[in-house]
């Protein structure tokens, strides 16, 4: 089969690889009908997250049709079922899964010893996302083995196009969880840094959860226009001061809720000296993340407010203003997404026409064009916001 394979920094190729096989009775194999490139795939493309090995198959936003099931799937799936594959692999049986904390499932990371060493405790296995999270082959391929398939799936009905459902795998529940973590009340202003695909989902989720005002911060006109289309007030940080504008929009109080949809690769600008220092330190491996957005959020958030962090951070961040964070009594909530905790509700909202997540797709191309699309997406060429690949 064809698959997008990581060969090193900025080197992803469309290789021919052997087909996946059932390895465990709880496995299923799906024929991928649609998959997507996620913003967090770019961290792997840049080799900023440790634990990738040449030969790893990329991709964690995937859906398709079940073509084979292991004997342990126990009637939960059958050949021909149409499923979206959540990016977190879950067993559904461990204590964390029972609590709904699916992204920290205690069972599914098959390289648990690595994650235990690095993070203190292992998190769930993830598709196509380094050997720290199990080294599972990803879904930017023609076929995908789904481990623990009896629990790791979202069954979806026929009649709704892939494009509306695919993002249940990651970015839609990720944006939703980011907003839910904010405990939004009707008087809240929610400020969202980064209007990439997760930022777009987070801002729509904040609207659906009843925020009074949603403010979207980015520098790319196409992304800001998409945010405005949903009713957000926008700030282009290349043209205006984020701090002053947020003050102005909140009568000097600051936003009650702040969401970081940027993560470890924040924008670098000469007028923000901390970003230059972060970039230099990241280059010589003195710091793994560039946390400019976290610093700004802590500074600007209204005292007693909540900071929600769906953006991916990989290791160590320097110069976080913990004094301001503590004295302002802020709360930070973060984590990989507990996808299956939210998907029943989100699928219902899609079916009822409350939201159509396909709005974010700007490019749909065959799988073999995937490597080039990584560059287009990274460089924000052709006003690219989200790429869907068709195997």
Partner 1 sequence: MFHFSNIVRTKGDPKIVEGGPSLKQPADQLARALGWFSIGLGIVEFFAPRRVTETLGMEGRETMVRAFGLREILAGVMSLSVDKNAGLWARVGGDGLDAAALLSGLTSDNPRKSNVALALLMVGGIAVLDYRAAQETKPQRPPPNARRKLYPNRSGFPKGPQAAKARAKEMIQHATAGVAS
Residues that bind partner 1 (CB under 8 A): 1, 3, 5, 7, 9-21, 23, 46, 53-55, 57, 110, 135, 137, 141, 145, 186, 200, 204, 207-210, 220-222, 225-226, 228-231, 238, 279, 283-284, 353-357, 359-360, 362, 368, 371-372, 374-375, 379-383, 385
In the chain the first and final C-alpha atoms are separated, in Å, by: 10
Q: Which is nearer to partner 1, 64 or 96 (CB)?
A: 64
CB closer to partner 1, 55 vs 303: 55
Of 161 and 210, the one with the shorter C-beta distance to partner 1 is 210
Q: Which is nearer to partner 1, 274 or 372 (by Cβ)?
A: 372
- Closest CB 326 distance from partner 1, rounded Å: 32
Place of tokens 């909202």: 349
- Least distance in Å: CB of 389 to partner 1? 14
**DSSP conformation class of 18:** P
The DSSP bridge partners found for residue 57 are 5
Nearer to partner 1, 115 or 360 (CB): 360
Give whichever of 146 and 300 is closer to partner 1, judged by the CB atom.
146
CB of 334 to partner 1, least distance (A): 24
| Strand 213-218 with 82-85, pairing | unpaired
* Residue tagged 């080197």 (tokens): 11
Shortest distance, CB of residue 207 to partner 1, whole angstroms?
6
To partner 1, the closest distance from the beta carbon of 328 in angstroms equals 27
Cα distances from 165 to residues 63, 228, 312, 347, in angstroms, run: 8, 23, 23, 8
φ and ψ at residue 241, rounded to 5 degrees = -80, 125
Residue 143 pairs with which residues in a beta bridge?
31
DSSP state of 371: H
Look up tokens 């230099």; give the residue.
280
Type and span of the H or E element at 242: helix 242-249
* Closest CB 23 distance from partner 1, rounded Å: 4
Q: Which is nearer to partner 1, 7 or 328 (CB)?
A: 7
Cβ atoms of residues 301 and 328 within 8 Å: yes
Phi, psi of 311 (to 5 degrees): -60, 145
CB of 324 to partner 1, least distance (A): 30
CB 373 within 8 A of CB 124: no
């Amino acid at each position: 089969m064809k698959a997008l394979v990581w060969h090193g920094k900025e080197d992803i190729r469309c290789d021919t690889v052997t087909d996946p096989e059932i390895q465990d009775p709880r496995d299923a194999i799906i024929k991928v009908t649609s998959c997507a490139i996620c913003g967090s795939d770019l961290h792997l493309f840049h080799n900023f997250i440790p634990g990738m090995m040449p030969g790893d198959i990329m991709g964690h936003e995937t859906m398709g049709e079940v073509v084979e099931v292991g004997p342990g799937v126990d009637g939960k799936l059958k050949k021909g079922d149409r499923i979206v594959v959540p990016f977190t692999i879950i067993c559904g049986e461990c204590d964390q899964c029972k609590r709904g904390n699916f992204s920290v499932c205690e069972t599914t990371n098959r390289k648990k010893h690595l994650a235990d060493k690095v993070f203190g405790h292992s998190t769930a296995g993830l598709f196509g996302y380094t050997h720290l999270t199990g080294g599972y082959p990803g879904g930017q391929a023609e076929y995908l083995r789904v481990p623990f398939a009896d629990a790791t799936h979202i069954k979806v009905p026929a009649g709704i196009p892939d494009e509306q459902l695919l993002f249940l795998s990651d970015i839609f529940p990720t944006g939703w969880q980011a907003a839910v973590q904010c405990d939004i009340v009707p008087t809240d202003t929610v400020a969202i840094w980064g209007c990439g695909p997760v930022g777009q989902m987070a801002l729509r989720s904040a609207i659906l959860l009843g925020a009074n005002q949603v403010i979207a911060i980015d520098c790319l006109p196409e992304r800001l226009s998409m945010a405005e289309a949903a009713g957000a007030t926008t700030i282009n940080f290349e043209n205006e001061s984020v701090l002053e504008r947020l003050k102005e929009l909140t009568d000097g109080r600051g936003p009650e809720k702040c969401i970081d949809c940027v993560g470890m690769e924040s924008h670098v600008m000469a007028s923000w000296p901390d970003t230059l220092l972060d970039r230099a330190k990241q280059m010589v491996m003195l710091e793994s993340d560039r946390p400019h957005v976290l610093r700004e959020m802590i500074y600007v958030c209204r005292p007693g407010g909540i900071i929600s962090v769906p953006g991916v951070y990989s290791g160590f961040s320097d110069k976080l203003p913990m004094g301001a964070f503590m004295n302002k009594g802020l709360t930070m909530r973060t984590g990989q997404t507990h996808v299956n905790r939210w998907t029943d509700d989100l699928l219902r909202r899609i079916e009822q026409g409350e939201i159509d997540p396909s709005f974010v797709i700007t490019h749909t191309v065959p799988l073999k064009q995937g490597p080039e699309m990584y560059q287009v997406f990274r460089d924000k060429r052709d006003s690219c916001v989200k790429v869907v690949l068709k195997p």
